[in-house]
Amino acid sequence: MSYAKSIIDDIFGGIRPAARALNKPASTIQGWYEAGTIPQKHWTDIMAMATQFGHKLSADNFFDATDSTAAMTRQQPSSETPLVPEMHGYSFDKPHCLSIPDFHRVDIENLLELGTRYLDLSVQKSPREGPLRGKTLINLFFENSTRTEKSFELAGKRLGADVISMNIGSSSVKKGETLLDTATTLNAMNPDLLVVRHGASGAPALLAQKVSCSVINAGDGMHAHPTQALLDALTLRQAVGNIDGLRIAICGDILHSRVARSNVQLLNMLGADVRLIAPPTLMPIGAQRWGADIFHDMKTGLEGCDVVMMLRLQLERMNGAFVPSKREYFHYHGLTREKLAFAKPDARVMHPGPMNRGVEISSDVADDSNISLITRQVEAGVAMRMAIL
């Protein structure tokens, strides 16, 4: 039986009940039933409705078990694994990657699956044969970055793209050129991908309207850092397993953190129980509406947590004193072994970097590879960005 038939019959109880549940004409459902396939744009709605019928579907359920192409997408990678793995029947239809809510669950699942495969494929040996050969990627970083910029550069090169990293310090921006003038100039060079980091929230979205290539948000102000959230999810899937049902605490300077915002959105989408822990001065007003439980002290906040995600005090975004002193901040909110003991015994620790040791995290926690996933996050960063590119 085709997957479409089994979803319609086994989950919804036939064509008419499925039509009612999905608010579609019976003829549409009949069409899927006869074709044996369901167009990808309906998958998210079907997955959401299936949960109300007590069934949990993933993108995998939209393939036939006997389908050889689908089977191939699930096999272990080998040296023969194609560099653009087939995503049977699935096409990614978003031109840009700007923030997590732009994606459906199925997009996220497919990106994570692709990221997993790139993680397994490891280093691409012959970039000249890569799927991005002949394409140009411009890294446009208006804010400092080590991990993000370098991982996009490496990811682009491993896929065969020509990669240019713009050093904003030496570009015309320093001479007063506006963001949009820079974008117009770069656009005239016909890049295929523009990876943008900017101190102003919304800058990559604005650029996306003005250029004719794909724009990837590599962090904008305090707004979003979708590729970081995706690489964090990939790290968790690899190290811990299913994210659904995990209790995850994000701790520290939530107020100034685009990482926290994108992670709350993505982790919620993947079914985690998300907590935010910060002193009141570093907790954004209205954070309780983000879909996370709010705590101000580490002891109660970390209770029962499977994962503890630490954040840097982002002094460059602070326009006043938000904490009495770094020493006092470390005393109350810095992650030490003693505070980690409030979480589950096997809790894992994450940090997007760069770390301020002795401010938000102690070195013995950060460097203990039995608990810290920080290096694995960097590794996942390249693979995840290959998938996104």
Q: Give the footprint of ligand NCD on this chain (CB under 6 A).
A: 147-148, 219, 225, 228, 258-259, 312, 314, 352-353
Enter the DSSP assignment of 201: T
From the CB of 375, what's the least distance to ligand NCD, in Å? 13
Q: Which residue is nearest to ligand NCD (CB)?
A: 312
In sequence order, what E strands does the chain have? 136-141, 162-167, 193-198, 214-220, 247-251, 273-277, 293-295, 307-310, 348-350
Using CA of residue 147, residue 131, residue 100, residue 57, what is the dihedral sign?
negative
The residues with which 308 forms a beta bridge, in sequence order, are 249, 349
C-beta of 42 vs 147, nearer to ligand NCD: 147
CA distances from 209 to 96, 374, 383 (A): 10, 35, 28
Rg (CA), the chain: 22
Q: Are 176 and 184 in contact (CB under 8 A)?
A: no
C-beta of 116 vs 377, nearer to ligand NCD: 377
9 exposed, middle or buried (CB, 10 Å; 0-12, 13-18, 19+)? middle
From the CB of 259, what's the least distance to ligand NCD, in Å? 5
C-beta of 85 vs 352, nearer to ligand NCD: 352
Instruction: Give rounded-to-5 percent helix, strand, coil for the chain.
Output: 45, 15, 40
C-beta of 25 vs 354, nearer to ligand NCD: 354
From the CB of 123, what's the least distance to ligand NCD, in Å? 21
C-beta of 63 vs 141, nearer to ligand NCD: 141
C-beta of 197 vs 339, nearer to ligand NCD: 197
Please tell me the distance from the alpha carbon of residue 32 to that of residue 57, in angstroms, as a whole number.
Answer: 17
From the CB of 379, what's the least distance to ligand NCD, in Å? 13
From the CB of 218, what's the least distance to ligand NCD, in Å? 7
20: Cβ–Cβ under 8 A, 6 or more apart, which residues?
A: none
From the CB of 142, what's the least distance to ligand NCD, in Å? 12
C-beta of 160 vs 381, nearer to ligand NCD: 381
